[in-house]
A and B are shown apart, each in its own frame.
Chain A
Amino acid sequence: MTATLLGIGFGFAARCLMLRSDYRQYPAYPHGYVTHLSLGLIASLLGALAVPALLEREFTAVTFLSLAATQFRDIREIERETLSKLELSKLVARGPDYIEGIARVFEARNYLAMLIALLVSALAYVVNAAAGALLGAFALLAAMHLMRGPVIGQIATVRPARISFKGPNLFVEDIHFMNLAREEVRRTILARGLGVVIEPIDDNAREILANNGQRMAIAHDAATQLGIYRDVDTAEFTPILRRDLDTGRIALLILPLEKDMDCLVQAVKNVPVLESSTSRPLKSRAGRGAAD
């Protein structure tokens, strides 16, 4: 009984710690918390019961784990669907890749809660409660530190860049963005716009930045943190990222409400590298050969 309770406790604690609410805005309301915490509790309950049940020769109990896995896969579906629908009402969309990443994280956090509960209860059952608690504390720390992916700042250098117009054509450094006819729009962009260039450090990073979903995530994160100077009827002020075909550099143009270059660079550096955009051409012989 102690082992099970300990397992549930640590599993649930892990889920609570992983429930962070920041500028990503989700979940932010008590209802959102309740949904995720109760699922976390169920996950840790199932995890904590598995090993004691197995040792008591209740083999059917293990089938519940597979049931739980199916259940949590549904969570990913639900998250994906919800966030995709909410996308329509956002001024700067997250993009499908970012949504997929968030949905996967929600699913994985439940598995993690279940796994921690399982390990803690197993150790507490087989050895003693103190050993279980020690493992639990270690697992919580590991969950907090290891479940973090790389960010843009680690795969690329981010630096301020100059915005200019040549006739109606808008450039950030020498990267062409778009053609804008209206004088007023051009004046606003020159006055309020900020440009940054994101330079990949190697060929792996270049491929990550080439991904359109990754670029949408950068635009969305920058816009959420600095505010965005646009409304539904001013499509020309949407933040955009364009690629320099020769070098793989990416440039971002954004009209933030808070015109603060340092904060923008910081925001871009902190954008997570999305799992779906990650590719490693340097791991292949052809990719390495082509790199030089």
Chain B
Amino acid sequence: MKTLISKYILAVVTLDPALVGSGGAPVFVARDRAEQDRIATYLARITEGVVHDLENGVYILVKH
């Protein structure tokens, strides 16, 4: 029985702000793919999360 929420979105890193609505997680807007990768890497290392690709230019960081 899990009583904790173990998987949740820590942050969103997007190329297009229009694709992400408001929500619980902070949204970081990147200028290009390289910057998106870099921001996602930093955030993943800092938060110990994993970066997933939604394949529409949006990355999400998830705590597993």
Contacts and interface: CB of A to CB of B under 8 A. Distances in A.
Query: Do A and B interact?
Result: yes
Interface of A: 167-168, 178-185, 232-236, 238
Nearest to B49: A235
Contacts of B37: 181-184
A88 to B, nearest CB: 13
A232 B45 CA distance: 9
B40 interface: yes
The 6 closest A-B pairs by CB, nearest first: A181-B53, A168-B53, A181-B51, A179-B52, A236-B50, A233-B45
Contacts of A185: 51
Interface of B: 37, 40-41, 44-46, 48-53, 55, 59, 64
Given A181-B37, A181-B52, 7 more contacts: A167-B53, A179-B52, A184-B37, A232-B48, A235-B44, A235-B48, A236-B44
A235 B45 CA distance: 9
Contacts of B52: 168, 178-181
A181 B64 contact: no
A180 B41 contact: no
A233 B46 CA distance: 7
A181 B45 contact: no
A12 B7 CA distance: 48
A180 B45 contact: no
B59 A181 contact: yes
A233 B51 CA distance: 12
Chain B interface mostly helix, strand, loop or mixed?
mixed
B41 A184 contact: yes
Contacts of A234: 45
A189 B36 CA distance: 20
A185 to B, nearest CB: 8
B40 A181 contact: yes
B2 to A, nearest CB: 11
A276 B45 CA distance: 35
Nearest to A167: B55
A169 to B, nearest CB: 9
21 contacts: A167-B53, A168-B52, A168-B55, A179-B52, A180-B52, A181-B51, A181-B59, A182-B40, A182-B44, A182-B51, A183-B37, A185-B51, A232-B48, A233-B44, A233-B45, A233-B46, A233-B48, A235-B48, A235-B50, A236-B44, A236-B51
B20 to A, nearest CB: 15
Given A233-B45, A235-B64, A180 B51 contact: yes
Nearest to B64: A235
Which of B46, B49, B53, B55 gathers most chain A CB within 10 Å?
Answer: B53
A29 to B, nearest CB: 30
A178 B50 CA distance: 10
Nearest to B61: A181
Contact of B53 (A180, A232, A236, A238): A180
Contacts of B55: 167-168
A168 B50 CA distance: 13
Contacts of B41: 182, 184
Contacts of A180: 50-53
Nearest to A235: B50
A127 to B, nearest CB: 53
A180 B48 CA distance: 14
Contacts of A178: 50, 52
